[in-house]
């Protein structure tokens, strides 16, 4: 019996069965393989248990990273051509990096690579470059998907990357997972706030502020490293919550 094919609503490729073989997204009527909850077509994470539906695609990630590096190389070449004969060293915006020798080369660190692409995606998003933010954001999500486990900081990053794509269900899934692991972790409320604001749910926004403020002082006193990394976001959110 031939399996009926359809078009994946997430990546647009032809797909069949319960999950897209190209991107791992759920197809219509697919159950979550972890908790058996009914999934929305195109979902990359289960809204019930936050299970990551995407298969590990190391080869695909490798080529995405190569593509990103090639794009960066083209940009630098174009910049050099536009400068004419003037030495590159006179242009601080085009840094000249030392060659990567056996002594200077660093071992591959998947989490570090994922965080670097996250930073690039968020910078592009904040300056309004939606094309670059979406492109780099997808690479960052692919990089995080290769990790064996995600801590609260990495899940916060994944949630913010889903905001770029407008996938608010996936953002809530990451917030819920952070909350399950650490019920008073502040990042869960930061992610939920962005979803509630985008959906215009003022009642949930206000309740979220209250819960955040209840645990802010005791959580900050724990000195979690991720709080220091995102201290500006936390302080801004605290002042906004306190003003309500």
Buried residues in 185-223 as b, exposed as e (16+ CB within 10 A): bbbbbbbbbbbbeeeeeeeebeebbeebeeebeebbeee
d(CA 77, CA 44): 36
pLDDT per residue over 169-179, tens digit each? 999 999 999 99
Provide the pLDDT for residue 61: 53
Residue 35 lies in a domain: yes
E strands in the chain: 5-7, 14-16
DSSP letters along 106-141, please? ----HHHHHHHHHHHHHHHHHTT-HHHHHHHHHHHH
d(CA 81, CA 143): 32
- Residue 98 pLDDT: 43
225: in domain: no
Question: What is the percentage of the chain residues whose pLDDT exceeds 90?
Answer: 51
Nearest to 172 by CA among 164, 163, 182: 163
Domain assignment of residue 11, given as a range: 7-55
| Three-state secondary-structure class, residue 37 | coil
Mean pLDDT of 162-189: 95
Q: Is 243 inside a domain boundary?
A: no
Q: Specify the pLDDT at position 49.
A: 67
Q: Is residue 140 part of a domain?
A: no
pLDDT of residue 28: 77
Q: How confident is the model at residue 35 (pLDDT cuts 50, 70, 90)?
A: confident
Q: How many domains does the chain have?
A: 1
pLDDT of residue 202: 95
Residue 50: inside a domain: yes
Q: Of 4-8, 12-16, 65-69, 80-84, which gets the smallest average pLDDT? A: 80-84
Q: Report residue 104's pLDDT band, with 50, 70 and 90 as the boundaries.
A: very low
56: alpha, beta or left? (left if phi > 0; alpha if psi -120 to 50):
beta
Closest CA to 152 of 119, 118, 177, 173: 177
pLDDT above 70 covers a percentage of the chain that reads 72
From CA 27, how far away is CA 41, in angstroms rounded?
5
| Residue among 136, 142, 145 at smallest CA distance from 118 | 136
Band of pLDDT at residue 62, cut at 50, 70 and 90: low
Q: Per residue in 209-219, pLDDT tens? A: 999 999 999 99
Look at residue 25 and tell me whether its pLDDT is greater than 90.
no
63 is a domain residue: no
**Do the domain assignments include residue 29?**
yes
C-alpha–C-alpha distance, residues 176 and 49, integer Å: 8
Please give the mean pLDDT across all residues of the chain.
79
State the distance between the two ends of the chain, measured CA to CA, in whole angstroms. 61
Taking a C-beta distance cutoff of 8 angstroms, is the pair 171, 163 a contact?
yes
pLDDT value at residue 201: 95
Average pLDDT (132-141) is 93
Q: What is the pLDDT of residue 85?
A: 42
Report yes or no on 14 lying in a domain: yes
């Amino acid at each position: 019996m031939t399996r009926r094919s359809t078009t994946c609503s997430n990546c647009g490729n032809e797909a069949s069965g319960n999950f897209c073989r190209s991107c791992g997204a759920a197809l219509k009527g697919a159950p979550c393989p972890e908790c058996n909850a009914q999934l929305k077509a195109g979902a990359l994470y289960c809204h019930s248990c936050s299970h990551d539906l995407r298969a590990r695609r190391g080869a695909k990630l490798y080529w995405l990273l190569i593509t990103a590096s090639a794009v960066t190389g083209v940009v630098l070449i174009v910049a050099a051509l536009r400068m004419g004969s003037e030495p590159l060293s006179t242009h601080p915006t085009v840094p000249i990096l030392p060659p990567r020798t056996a002594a200077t080369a660093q071992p591959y660190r998947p989490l570090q690579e994922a965080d670097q692409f996250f930073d690039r995606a968020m910078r592009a998003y904040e300056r309004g470059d939606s094309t670059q933010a979406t492109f780099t954001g997808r690479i960052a999500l692919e990089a995080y998907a290769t990790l064996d486990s995600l801590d609260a900081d990495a899940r916060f990053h994944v949630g913010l990357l889903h905001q770029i794509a407008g996938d608010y269900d996936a953002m809530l899934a990451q917030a819920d997972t952070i909350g399950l692991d650490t019920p008073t972790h502040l990042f869960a409320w930061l992610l939920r706030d962005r979803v509630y604001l985008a959906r215009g749910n003022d009642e949930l926004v206000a309740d979220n502020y209250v819960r955040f403020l209840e645990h802010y002082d005791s959580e900050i006193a724990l000195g979690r490293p991720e709080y220091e990394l995102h201290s500006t976001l936390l302080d801004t959110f605290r002042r906004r919550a306190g003003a309500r």
